[in-house]
Amino acid sequence: MREPLIRSTEDRIIAGVCAGLARHLNVSVGIVRVGMVVLALAGGAGALLYIWLWLLVPTAADEAMAAQRAFNPRNIAENFARGFGASGAGRDGTGRDVTARDGSVSRPVGQPLTQPGAAAVQAEVAAPRLLQRGGKEILIGAALVLAGGAVVAQLAGINLPWGTWLPVLAIAAGAVIAWMQLDDSRRSGLMDRAGATGAQGAVRLLAGLVLVVAGIVTMVSGSITWEAMWPTLFASLAVLAGVLLVLAPWVLKYWRDLETERSGRIRETERAEIAAHLHDSVLQTLALIQNRAGSEQDVTRLARAQERELREWLYRDKRQEEGNLVDRVKAVAAEIEDAYGHPVEVVAVGDAAMTDRHEVLVHATREAVQNAAKHAGGGISVYVECTPARSEVFVRDRGPGFELASVPPDRMGVRESLIGRMERHGGEARIRNTGSGTEVHLSLEHPQEGTAS
């Protein structure tokens, strides 16, 4: 299959058109560049072609963005529809919904030229962008060489028509600067309207405009006298203002449409994401529950696991960092709940960053919860409390309870993995029979430096 026509962002001198074209046509970049230059010398055709391609061909980043925004969620939604269709219910409604969405996703101008070659796109995006910097330097170098060549030619006696060339060069430079800006803003601006590039972009646009205007004025001033210049300039400005006035509503409308469409697309994406999540988790579990309706224990276990997963997704405490003590204890509780089918309720106050000693605490907690699940059954309560001074874990069950003294010495579980382990790491483990179940209390003093609480 032929590579998609995409402007290259890494191997570029001006805008990566040649490199993209070369990859698309499967010929060497050098040949394309030479060809382009030759065409450019043939009455500027190459330059025109270049500019045209520049405007119409998207960059890899553009494509990746479009792929990310339009394709991924849609794939998920399609999966969702397919999953629905497989079960035979609501196929039509969902299916049509998805197609309708297809139609409504319109892409930024200039993108439909290519096909989504997702893998190639990803690879290109990942490639280092160092060369881009080099490209700029090459460009400046080329300009300097050209200028030098011109000066040498002048010295050698060849008369260059400076009066014509300088303004043309200025106009070209101005246009390039302004278009580079357009290019950038299309790339980043559509993705997020972060104002970081705002000031710089305005300066660039202004510089480009000044160059172009100055070039045109200089060019025109060759044929008109300065006295006639001002009225002409004024007249042109008046015409420009009139055109702007007429076009402004359209521009505004276009902008507003773009905005609504963008927010609509964001909503669609969110909806698709939620649909996908519900499909992957809840619907699957419900199907499983229907299959296992005979086994009460399986059903309870599935329901608990699904509840936990959904709760985590919906109500996750944003402040709670992943990988911290509470997170780890919750993971341990979930694991044992799944393995033994007894509900494990975790209540946490505060949190602490993990250290090696906290790792020990998590292991001991695991052992305690597992013992409770194995020997006591029923509901198990886990309470984690972290203060700057210490971390504590209480594991409580409602089983028959046991006396540590009555445990045979050869049974190493409790003594070794709970008490011994905690004590070796400067912690403490106490097991007591509350009369209606057993409670294991694990505590770990923190060294003086504070922890998050």
Partner 1 sequence: MTEPIRVVVVDDHAIFRSGLKADLDERIEVVAEAATVEQAIAAIHEQRPDVVLLDVHLPGGRGGGGAEVVAGCAALLGETKFLALSVSDSAEDVVTVIRAGARGYVTKTVSGAEISDAVQRVAGGDAAFSPRLAGFVLDAFGTAAVANVDDELDKLSARELEVMRLIARGYQYKEVAKELFISIKTVETHVSSVLRKLQLSSRHELTRWAVDRRIL
Query: Going by C-beta distance under 8 Å and a sequence separation of 6 or more, which residues neighbour residue 120?
Result: 3, 4, 6
Q: Which of 306, 387, 433, 443 binds partner 1 (CB under 8 A)?
A: 387
Contact 442, 392 (CB under 8 A): yes
Q: Which amino acid is at 262?
A: R
End-to-end CA distance of the chain: 57
Task: Name the residue nearer to partner 1 (CB basis): 47 or 289.
Answer: 289
Q: Please give the residues from 335 up to 364 whose contact with partner 1 meets the rule CB under 8 A.
A: 343, 345, 347-350
Name the percent of the chain in helix, strand, coil, to the closest 5. Answer: 70, 10, 25
Sign of CA dihedral 45, 48, 49, 50: positive
- Taking the C-alpha atoms of residue 323 and residue 169, their distance in angstroms, rounded to an integer, is 59
Q: Which of 1, 156, 199, 314 binds partner 1 (CB under 8 A)?
A: 314
CB of 267 to partner 1, least distance (A): 19
Burial category of 136 from C-beta neighbours within 10 Å (exposed 0-12, middle 13-18, buried 19 and up): middle
- Taking the C-alpha atoms of residue 215 and residue 221, their distance in angstroms, rounded to an integer, is 10
When asked if residue 311 is in the footprint of partner 1 (CB under 8 A), the reply is: yes
- Taking the C-alpha atoms of residue 11 and residue 134, their distance in angstroms, rounded to an integer, is 9
Only segment of 186-194, 275-283, 356-364, 430-438 that touches partner 1 (CB under 8 A): 430-438
When asked if residue 319 is in the footprint of partner 1 (CB under 8 A), the reply is: yes
Task: Name the residue nearer to partner 1 (CB basis): 177 or 348.
Answer: 348
Residue 361: name the closest of 308, 298, 424 by CA.
424
What is the length of the chain? 453
When asked if residue 383 is in the footprint of partner 1 (CB under 8 A), the reply is: yes
Q: Which of 31, 436, 445, 450 binds partner 1 (CB under 8 A)?
A: 436
Q: Please give the residues from 152 up to 171 whose contact with partner 1 meets the rule CB under 8 A.
A: none
Structure tokens at 213: 């205007």
When asked if residue 296 is in the footprint of partner 1 (CB under 8 A), the reply is: no
Contact 399, 378 (CB under 8 A): yes
Structure tokens at 343: 């509900």
Residue 220: name the closest of 207, 209, 233 by CA.
233
CB of 103 to partner 1, least distance (A): 33
Residue 179: name the closest of 124, 110, 271, 119 by CA.
110
Task: Name the residue nearer to partner 1 (CB basis): 294 or 435.
Answer: 435
Q: Which of 315, 322, 405, 410 binds partner 1 (CB under 8 A)?
A: 315
Alpha helix ranges (H) inside 405-449: 412, 421-424
Only segment of 70-78, 234-242, 314-322, 423-431 that touches partner 1 (CB under 8 A): 314-322
Task: Name the residue nearer to partner 1 (CB basis): 185 or 381.
Answer: 381
When asked if residue 230 is in the footprint of partner 1 (CB under 8 A), the reply is: no
Q: Which of 394, 414, 419, 444 binds partner 1 (CB under 8 A)?
A: 394
When asked if residue 439 is in the footprint of partner 1 (CB under 8 A), the reply is: yes
How many residues make contact with partner 1 (CB under 8 A)? 23
Task: Name the residue nearer to partner 1 (CB basis): 32 or 346.
Answer: 346
When asked if residue 396 is in the footprint of partner 1 (CB under 8 A), the reply is: yes
Site string (363-382) toward partner 1, x via CB under 8 A: ----------------x-x-
When asked if residue 434 is in the footprint of partner 1 (CB under 8 A), the reply is: yes
When asked if residue 62 is in the footprint of partner 1 (CB under 8 A), the reply is: no
Contact 388, 451 (CB under 8 A): yes
CB of 420 to partner 1, least distance (A): 24
CB of 407 to partner 1, least distance (A): 23
What is the binding site for partner 1 (CB under 8 A)? 307, 311, 314-315, 317, 319, 343, 345, 347-350, 379, 381, 383, 385, 387, 394, 396, 434-436, 439
